Structure 1
Amino acid sequence: MRDLVLSLFPGIGLLDMAFEEAGFCVVRGPDLLWGGDVRAFSPPAGRFDGVIGGPPCQRWSPLANVVRAVHGEDGVAPDLIPEYQRVVAEAAPRWFLMENVIRAPEPAVPGFVVRSETVNNRWCGGEQNRVRRFSFGTRDGAALRIQTEALNPFVFRPAVTTNSGGRRKVAVLDENGRQRGKRGHADDARLQWRQLGEMAADQGVPPDFVARLQEHGAFTSKALRTGIGNGVPLAMGRAVAAAVLRAIGQSAEAAA
């Protein structure tokens, strides 16, 4: 029997999809995309074998400095990593996995030893250049060894973002500290608009999955772009789910 897994900050479920393909049974927790709030959520203790998820990364991305310069500290997304840590502590699983950008702090949960590994989606067979850090927490300090391919695509796609993709905005300020223009003046700093289908393809999302969401009206186009842009690429998710399977299997063998 595969592990029962609680997914926090699931979005549209791209990381969940990879873990389900690997045989895990995934239960999705609350998400703002669905009208839920993790801050009002408390899981039952001892019911879940594992917890997965990626707290919002906006506060820890380079773009956060631009937001601070334009809108002040109140304009920056809140840090929800403490909420992730709280839920893990309450759920008391055997293991947990947190995904985030490299600049984000590693999770710290009493009773768990955390080991982190940084991986690029290109190393997992995807064309999109997207780097993320996966922090794996266990009671015995098992390592998460993500297998990557020997050869990476020489020609690659830029990272998908919730707005479109490509390069980030660049804030240009005048002598009084006010922003000039909307996107800076360098051509290579401009965000190039990308179609929803192109974003989904770069993330490895099956076309029929997006088509079903559109057909039933579950999301607006903006919400779909947010969900896809914030998700873990499927190629990367599959490699991580396989690594978790190996790690928990080795821990079980050692304990036997």
Structure 2
Amino acid sequence: MDNTLILSTFPGVDLFGRAFEETGACIVQAQDKILGGDIRRFHPPKGRFDAVIGGSPCQDFSRLNRNPGNLSKEMLDEFIRVVKEADPDWFLHENVVGVPAFDIPGYTMQRFTLDLAWFSDFSRARVFTFGNKRGVTLNPIHKSGAVANGTAVVGNDERSYAACCEIQGLDAPLELDFLTLTAKKQVIANAVPLQLGRYMANLIANEYYGKESTLAFEHSNVRTCACGCGRRVVGRAKTASPACRKRYSRQRIAC
């Protein structure tokens, strides 16, 4: 994807953009609320960007939200507006499974679900909407029966900040010293997990651009439970569960 110019909307800490950058693309970030920006003031030049990506705010589309508002629909509409104004070759939108389906004239549309549990030990189902002018249809993977040992990162997550970053696919915590701990967890939780972003970036490189690219998800820094059960651990944890901790303690005493 070398020399591909991609506009990243609703970037936040932009793990989505980072995933495409790893494939060689050049990422330009649109205005974001975290730095005082407002997508409603943003108007991209027509025909300058090869692609537009983004995960607009999803809270109102979540099935867990019993009092949804209108912000998520408004921001989805803003994403659609930006795509129409930028007129790129293709676009990719990410959101929760409850996001409404949408069409943009002139684009072949495709909607499918990926689960973080297919690439890690943590479950997070996300809907991706891909549109392109070439009439290309992607062939994303689909797995069933994936076993997750943990849940996705949420804004009020009780796990450490380092663990939250690791679950989202980062090798080390992002330095966000200008934010409170709660705010740091929130922006990490809002990000598209790197594992999902990397899969999509490589899938598009393969099937849209015809580039050879390995769809690699595992990293050398993955640690497993000290008790020997094989489950992944994150942050400072040595064991995956209280039962594992007891088993590990008994093993140390036996030694």
After TM superposition, is the score higher than 0.5?
yes
Q: 1:151 Cα shift?
A: 8.9
Per-residue Cα deviation, 1:63-114 (whole angstroms, up to 9, x for no partner): 322x35xxxx57x756311100000000010000000111101232221121
How is 1:47-196 mapped onto 2 (pairs within 5 angstroms)? 47-65=48-66, 67-68=67-68, 73=69, 79-123=74-118, 125-147=119-141, 152=146, 154-164=147-157, 193-196=158-161
Per-residue Cα deviation, 1:120-163 (whole angstroms, up to 9, x for no partner): 0121x2111000011100113312223468994x4521111122
Q: In the alignment, residue 11 of structure 2 is paired with which amino acid?
A: P
Q: In the alignment, residue 97 of structure 1 is paired with which amino acid?
A: L
CA change 1:148–1:18 in 2 (3 A) is farther
Q: In the alignment, residue 41 of structure 2 is paired with which amino acid?
A: A
Q: Secondary structure at the match of 1:114?
A: strand
Percent identity of paired positions between Structure 1 and Structure 2? 36
CA change 1:117–1:237 in 2 (3 A) is same
For structure 2, the 5+ residue unaligned runs are 212-255
Greater relative CO (CA pairs within 8 A, separation 6+): 1
1:31–1:38 Cα contact (<8 Å) kept: yes
1:130–1:159 Cα contact (<8 Å) kept: yes
CA change 1:24–1:147 in 2 (3 A) is farther
- Using structure 2 for the length normalisation, give the TM-score: 0.76
2:61–2:72 Cα contact (<8 Å) kept: no
Equivalent in the alignment of 1:17: 18
CA change 1:150–1:20 in 2 (3 A) is farther
Q: 1:249 Cα shift?
A: 1.4
Q: Secondary structure at the match of 2:130?
A: strand
Q: 2:75 and 2:127 mapped to 1: Cα distance?
A: 16
CA RMSD of aligned residues (A): 2.2
1:146–1:239 Cα contact (<8 Å) kept: no
2:152 paired with 1:202: no
For structure 1, the 5+ residue unaligned runs are 165-192, 252-256
Equivalent in the alignment of 2:179: 219
Question: Which 4+ stretches in 1 moved above 4 angstroms?
Answer: 147-152
Q: 2:90 and 2:125 mapped to 1: Cα distance?
A: 23
Residues paired across the two proteins, number: 210
Say which structure is richer in helix.
Answer: 1
2:95–2:128 Cα contact (<8 Å) kept: yes
Q: Secondary structure at the match of 2:150?
A: coil
2:92–2:129 Cα contact (<8 Å) kept: yes
- Using structure 1 for the length normalisation, give the TM-score: 0.75
Equivalent in the alignment of 1:243: 203
